[in-house]
Amino acid sequence: MTNLNRRDFLKAAGVAAAAGVVSGCVQSKADPLQTVPKRQGKSVIGLIAPKMDVVRVGFIGVGQRGYGHVKRMSHIDGAEIVALCDTHDEVLQRSANYLAERGVKAPALYQGSELAYREMLARDDIDIVIISTPWRWHAPMAVDTMESGKHAFVEVPLALTVEEMWQLVDTAERTQKNCMMMENVNYGRDELMVLNMVRQGLFGELLHGEAAYIHELRWQMKELEHKTGSWRTEWHTKRNGNLYPTHGLGPVSQYMNINRGDRFDYLTSMSSPALGRAAYAAREFEPGHQRNQWQYVAGDMNTTLVKTVKGRSIMIQHDTTTPRPYSRHNLIQGTNGVFAGFPNRIALEQGGTKSFHEWDEDMSAWYAKYDHPLWLKMGAEAERNGGHGGMDFLMFWRMIYCLRNGEPLDQDVYDGAAWSVISPLSAQSVANRSESVTIPDFTRGAWESAKPLGIVGT
Ligand SMILES: NC(=O)c1ccc[n+]([C@@H]2O[C@H](COP(=O)([O-])OP(=O)(O)OC[C@H]3O[C@@H](n4cnc5c(N)ncnc54)[C@H](O)[C@@H]3O)[C@@H](O)[C@H]2O)c1
């Protein structure tokens, strides 16, 4: 190729890339989804909202998950439930009845249309909004919440696409509002203990983590009109990748200081065949049933590998279809040893109770030495109030504590975006023979100087 030809070729390739029409290996490098948009406001790392004496709470979505949230929030000192919104009258009344039985002041109720939540957001007596709706509503509702001057607390995943993640980051930065994805697993006793162990250097330098959401949920396909399976099942016909990455990944990310000294760089992803949902439908539904007409495309097991800029690796798996025991893996490997969950076990070269060739599965001594200060303070009350072994209550308690005491939240919009974006990007990689995909830096460089999450003891 002459210089001239080469210049023309590169120019043409540049135009094609900008138009998003290139194919093959150039595609991921020129992917318009990977360009970092210009910041519209200022970073919300360490954002501290003005102290609130009482935190006034509104809820959007009080179905399976949201009802539990309403119940738990009604037991938290310093939180007042002001309003509830749901399109389904039955579940709205269920929450209202629960609060009435507890003798709590009756909240205002919003219903009647899919946008009725905006009437609730127009109120000026709400500080934070808890969003527990189907996935497609998370981003628009969180954006509307922040635009209305309130802090958004969103169920997992934070959002569904790269564009939505940026929209949430940009809105949080422009409005200076919190947008926290409520990753409850980060408040589990074991995850908190492992975070404490990591911070105390028990595993040496961290090298590798493993995270998962392996939870057989085929039975949700029988939820047709309402409840989780009525909308979640369809995602198995739409996206072949990791549909639900954050439960295992949130804790591993906190162990590794992701967005606080390290960050995700790129991923590669592979899916197994998608067989289990169709087989279940054939077994459990009439031949003409909608569940038998859908084509399930999400591979039963998806495996994604993430590389961080510091060179660490993370394996993330997703499988809600095959018959097997539950696991989030919760594995962290360092130069001095390893912790793994499901079941909990530990092996260390220095400081262990056994040779590192053998797992120590008796956690009692480890809990005694390394239980997280937050668990020591609130664990008993959290277990009493329930919700996945206490993690749900502890998360709410901690959110309200931070807001009332002028402390930054433990999870910010950058965490939620980084952990959730694994879903669309894993699908992109799967669709391209596992080609690596760059993971956007939603902090726009601030990860390098951001401080690691502290061990909180208050
Ligand atoms: N963190 C966890 O451990 C955990 C556990 C379960 C579910 N979740 C998450 O919680 C969210 C809700 O899941 P779920 O199981 O409660 O589902 P669900 O279907 O039981 O509840 C969703 C509710 O949202 C309501 N809704 C839908 N569109 C609405 C709208 N436009 N305005 C107001 N209300 C609307 C529905 O009527 C329903 O009551 C999902 O994001 C899910 O991933 C998280």
The average pLDDT across 24-35 equals 50
- pTM > 0.95: no
Round the average pLDDT of the chain to a whole number and report it. 92
Residue 197 has pLDDT above 70, yes or no: yes
User: Which among 97, 104, 95, 101 has a CA at the least distance from the CA of 56?
Assistant: 104
- The DSSP bridge pattern shows strands 206-214 and 128-131 to be unpaired
Environment class of residue 296 by beta-carbon count within 10 Å: exposed (0-12), middle (13-18) or buried (19+)?
Answer: buried
| Helix, strand, coil percentages, rounded to 5, for the chain | 40, 15, 40
pLDDT in tens, 207-249: 999 999 999 999 999 999 999 999 999 999 999 999 999 999 9
pLDDT at 75: 94
Return the best residue to mutate from 67, 114, 132, 225 for the ligand 1 pocket (most ligand atoms within 8 A of CB). Answer: 132
Q: Which residues contact 447 (CB under 8 A, 6 or more apart)?
A: 258, 259, 260, 261, 262, 263, 414, 441
pLDDT at 382: 87
Q: Ligand 1 centre and the CA of 134: distance in Å?
A: 5
Packed helices 138-147 and 162-175: angle between N→C axes, nearest 10 degrees: 10
Atom of ligand 1 lying closest to residue 138 CA: 41
The average pLDDT across 400-415 equals 98
The average pLDDT across 40-56 equals 96
pLDDT in tens, 257-277: 999 999 999 999 999 999 999
Q: Ligand 1 centre and the CA of 226: distance in Å?
A: 10
Q: Which residues contact 53 (CB under 8 A, 6 or more apart)?
A: 78, 404
Q: Ligand 1 centre and the CA of 109: distance in Å?
A: 17
Residue 21 has pLDDT above 50, yes or no: no
The average pLDDT across 94-115 equals 97
Higher model confidence: residue 457 or residue 276? 276
Environment class of residue 183 by beta-carbon count within 10 Å: exposed (0-12), middle (13-18) or buried (19+)?
Answer: buried
Residue nearest to atom 6 of ligand 1 (CA): 65
Q: Ligand 1 centre and the CA of 212: distance in Å?
A: 21
Please report which confidence band the pLDDT of residue 18 belongs to, taking 50, 70 and 90 as the band edges. very low
pLDDT at 10: 35
Q: Is the Cβ–Cβ distance between 57 and 69 less than 8 Å?
A: no
Q: Which residues contact ligand 1 via a Cβ below 6 A? A: 60-61, 63-66, 85-88, 91, 114, 117, 132-135, 137, 155-156, 184, 227-228
Q: Is the Cβ–Cβ distance between 26 and 13 less than 8 Å?
A: yes
Atom of ligand 1 lying closest to residue 135 CA: 41
The average pLDDT across 7-19 equals 36
Distance CA 139, CA 161 (A): 9
Residue nearest to atom 43 of ligand 1 (CA): 156
Return the best residue to mutate from 115, 145, 155 for the ligand 1 pocket (most ligand atoms within 8 A of CB). Answer: 155
pLDDT in tens, 301-320: 999 999 999 999 999 999 99
Atom of ligand 1 lying closest to residue 61 CA: 24
Q: Ligand 1 centre and the CA of 132: distance in Å?
A: 4
Q: Ligand 1 centre and the CA of 341: distance in Å?
A: 28
Distance CA 394, CA 416 (A): 18
Q: Ligand 1 centre and the CA of 76: distance in Å?
A: 22
Greatest Cα pair distance in the chain? 82
- Domains, in order of start, for the chain: 46-181 (3.40.50.720), 186-377+408-448 (3.30.360.10)
Distance CA 388, CA 11 (A): 56
- For residue 343 the two structure tokens come to 């079941």
Distance CA 374, CA 343 (A): 23
What is the spatial order of strands in the sheet that 79-85 belongs to? 108-110, 79-85, 55-60, 128-131, 151-154, 179-181
Q: Count of CB atoms within 10 A of residue 68's CB?
A: 18
- For residue 295 the two structure tokens come to 């084509």
DSSP-derived secondary structure letter, 258: B
Distance CA 160, CA 43 (A): 22
Distance CA 77, CA 209 (A): 36
Atom of ligand 1 lying closest to residue 114 CA: 31
pLDDT at 127: 98
pLDDT at 457: 67
Distance CA 441, CA 263 (A): 8
